Amino acid sequence: MTALNTTLSLAVVSGKGGVGKTNIALNLGFALHELGHSLVLLDGDLGLANLDVLLGISPEKNLQDLLGEAPLESVVVPLAQDFAFLPSASGVAELVDLDDDVQSILLDKLDALFRQYHFLLLDLGAGISPTVLSFAARPQERIIVITPEPTSLTDSYALIKVLSAQHQTKNFQLIVNMSESSREARTAFDRLAQACERFLSLPIRLLGVVHKDPMVMESVRHQVPLLKFAPSCRAAQDIREIAAKIVERRERLKDLIARSPILKPLC
Ligand SMILES: Nc1ncnc2c1ncn2[C@@H]1O[C@H](COP(=O)(O)OP(=O)(O)OP(=O)(O)O)[C@@H](O)[C@H]1O
Ligand SMILES: [Mg+2]
């Protein structure tokens, strides 16, 4: 008999590009690890990967090699004890349009690895391309990253609408990033949540707010994750608060997680 699942899988997604997904995924990873949790961080922005850039590393192998015959151990990069990173490739057109079957084969190869960790975090590309949608639909939960800009709200609404129509996806949580104030973030969240409730009958939870912070750009320039580069800056504190909520959620949902696959087959 297969052991009960204990891994909570989360995809970090957005309608509009450049809203901070990769930085949030990476630093949430470090924050979860700081809290004593094990995790695997997967660069699911296939073809335009950049988690490796933010980490300041150049992995020899990546998910593309796993589609070939490379053994799994040669692709996994340990970032710390119990913190694994699966890099993807940049500038590889065949990965951008990965069809669902190939995606399933790739993810099946990874299932046994995912099972060893408390969390699986997927950083995805922006938008509503078929590859992004199918990657976004598989995890147990989705973290939608928005900024207070109107275009970010409309694009995120479009993403949620398409995911719920095409894949019957539920479980959306929101992070408002690059906000000047908690009030501005709340207004942005309310607008999106009201539209989703009214037109899609989908409730959305506010997972947290990450304030605009010049240290984020500095950490990117230095290619050092924010939580290491400026551990006590405002944005780092915000991300730690969000990580604590994610830990609580895993604890609260443990019975449900035990009965769910880490990544669902597509419907
Ligand atoms: N909280 C923040 N405060 C200030 N600047 C930020 C913040 N979050 C992100 N940024 C800026 O936004 C840039 C883009 O961030 P990031 O690459 O994480 O976005 P993304 O959503 O992953 O982009 P893409 O859609 O291209 O994958 C960062 O390089 C940084 O300069
Ligand atoms: Mg990104």
* Residue-wise pLDDT tens digits, 39-94: 999 999 987 889 999 999 999 999 989 988 899 999 999 999 999 999 998 877 77
Q: Out of 12, 23, 28, 129, give the residue to mutate to test ligand 1, the one with the largest number of ligand atoms within 8 Å of its CB.
A: 23
Ligand 1 atom, smallest distance to 54 CA: 17
Distance from Cα 87 to the centre of ligand 2, integer Å: 13
Query: What would the two tokens of residue 257 be?
Result: 């997680």
- Cβ atoms 88, 46 nearer than 8 A: yes
Report the CATH number that the domain containing residue 124 is assigned in CATH: 3.40.50.300
CA distance 87 to 33: 18
Pocket of ligand 1 (CB under 6 A): 14, 17-23, 45, 125-126, 177-178, 210, 212-213, 216-217, 220, 235
With 0-12 / 13-18 / 19 or more C-beta atoms within 10 angstroms meaning exposed / middle / buried, residue 199 is exposed
CA angle 66, 266, 98 (to 5 degrees): 40
Domain count for the chain:
1
CA end-to-end distance (rounded Å), the chain? 25
Ligand 1 atom, smallest distance to 45 CA: 27
The residue assigned the tokens 């084969």 is: 105
Domain for residue 86, yes or no? Answer: yes
Domain for residue 169, yes or no? Answer: no
Cα torsion through 161, 244, 44, 108, rounded to 10: -100
Distance from Cα 259 to the centre of ligand 1, integer Å: 35
Global pTM? 0.96
Written as tens digits, the pLDDT of the chain (267 aa) is 567 899 999 999 999 999 999 999 999 999 999 999 999 999 999 878 899 999 999 999 999 899 888 999 999 999 999 999 999 988 777 777 788 888 888 898 999 999 999 999 999 999 999 989 999 999 999 999 999 999 999 999 999 999 999 999 988 999 999 999 999 999 999 999 999 999 999 999 999 999 999 999 999 999 999 999 999 999 999 999 999 999 999 999 999 999 999 999 887
Distance from Cα 18 to the centre of ligand 1, integer Å: 5
Q: What are the pLDDT digits (tens) for 122-141?
A: 999 999 999 899 999 999 99
Q: Which residues form the domain of 221?
A: 8-142+212-259
**β-bridge partners, 48:** 90
